[in-house]
Structure 1
C-alpha cells in the first residue's frame, strides 16, 4: 500500500522445484537486478577498400553530363507549360460553367414571366363575351355544312390562300408531295 510518497514493499522468498530461492517484490517500484547481462560488443570491421573499377563507376555515376542537364531543363520547362495551360483551361471551364448557370437561371425567370403573362392574357379573354358580341353586334353566324370544305395540305402546317381551294380538296399539285 502507498501512504503519501512512501511505498511499502513486501518481499517474499519462495522455493521452486530446483531448490533455487527467488525473490518476489510486490509494490509499485521494482529495483534493478544486481547483475547486468553481458552484451556482445560488435566486432570492429575495417572498411574494405573498393577496387579501382568500383571507384571509377561511382565517379561516373556522380557525374552529370551537359546533355542530361539540357534534357532535364527542357523537360521541366515543358512540364511547366503543360501545367500553366491546364490551369488556364480549368479556369476557363469554371467561368463558362458559372456563365451557363447564370444563363439557365435567367432563362428560367423569363419562362416563368412568359407563362405568367400568358395566363393573365388567357384569363382576361372571355370567349362567351366574344361570341355574343360577334353574333349580336357584328351580325356573324355559324357556317352551314355546305360551306365547309376540308382539304389536305401535305406541304406544310398552314396555307396562304391566293386562289380558291379545288373541289377535290388537294392543294399541292406536285406528284412528289402527293405521294
Structure 2
C-alpha cells in the first residue's frame, strides 16, 4: 500500500463526516483543538473595592504568619515536655524488658532446681528399703511391735497437732468438769 493511497475504509470515514469539528483521524498524531481561554471581565479586575479587599487579605495573611514571643515559648515548652515524656517512656520500656528477662531467667533457674530436688528425692526414696529397716529394727536393735494394751488413744478437740508437755493419763482425758473450779 503506497503512502499516497487511502483505503476504502478511510475514504468512507472522511465522506461521512458532517462538520469539520468531528473529523476522525487515524494514527497517533492527533492535533490539539484550538481554543482561547475566557478572560475575566474588565470591571472586576479594576474594581477598587476588590483591590482593597485583596490588600486587607494580604495584610491579614502577613499578620497570621508572624510569630510572637509567647507562642515561641509555649512551643518550646511543649516540645521539651514531649521530649521528656518520650525519654521516660523509652526508659520505662527498657526497665520492663530487662525485668522480664530477669524473671524468665529466674523461672528457668527455679524449674531446674525443682527438677533437681525431685530427682534427689526419688533417688533417696528408691534407696530406702522399708523391709530392710524393719528387719534391722527387729533383729539388730530388738524392737517389737506394740501390744493393744500399750496403745493409748487421745481425742484432741482442737485439731490434729499435739504437743506433749506431760504424761497422758491412763483414761485418756486431760481435764474433766469435776477438776474445774468456779
Give the TM-score taking structure 2 as reference length. Answer: 0.69
Question: What whole-Å deviation, never above 9, does each CA across 1:100-126 have from its counterpart, x for those lacking one?
Answer: 000000000000000000011000000
1:23-38 superposed matches below 5 A: 30-33=27-30, 36-38=32-34
> How far has the Cα of 1:59 moved from its partner?
2.2
CA distance in 1, matches of 2:126, 2:90: 54
CA distance in 2, matches of 1:62, 1:24: 54
Counterparts in 2 of 1:155 and 1:66: CA distance versus 1, 3 Å = farther
The higher relative CO (CA closer than 8 Å, separation ≥ 6) is in: 1
Counterparts in 2 of 1:90 and 1:162: CA distance versus 1, 3 Å = same
Match of 1:41 in 2: 37
Match of 2:111 in 1: 108
Query: Are 1:135 and 1:141, in contact at CA under 8 Å, matched by a contact in 2?
Result: yes
Gaps of 5+ in 1: 1-9, 172-179
Counterparts in 2 of 1:111 and 1:36: CA distance versus 1, 3 Å = closer
> How far has the Cα of 1:128 moved from its partner?
0.4
1:9-158 superposed matches below 5 A: 11-13=7-9, 15=12, 20=16, 30-33=27-30, 36-41=32-37, 43=39, 49=51, 51=53, 52-153=55-156, 158=161
Counterparts in 2 of 1:39 and 1:149: CA distance versus 1, 3 Å = farther
Higher strand share: 1
Give the TM-score taking structure 1 as reference length. Answer: 0.70
How many residue pairs get aligned? The number is 157
> How far has the Cα of 1:90 moved from its partner?
0.5
Counterparts in 2 of 1:137 and 1:91: CA distance versus 1, 3 Å = same
Question: What whole-Å deviation, never above 9, does each CA across 1:63-95 have from its counterpart, x for those lacking one?
Answer: 111111111101111111111111110000000
Match of 1:175 in 2: none
CA RMSD of aligned residues (A): 3.4
Match of 2:180 in 1: none
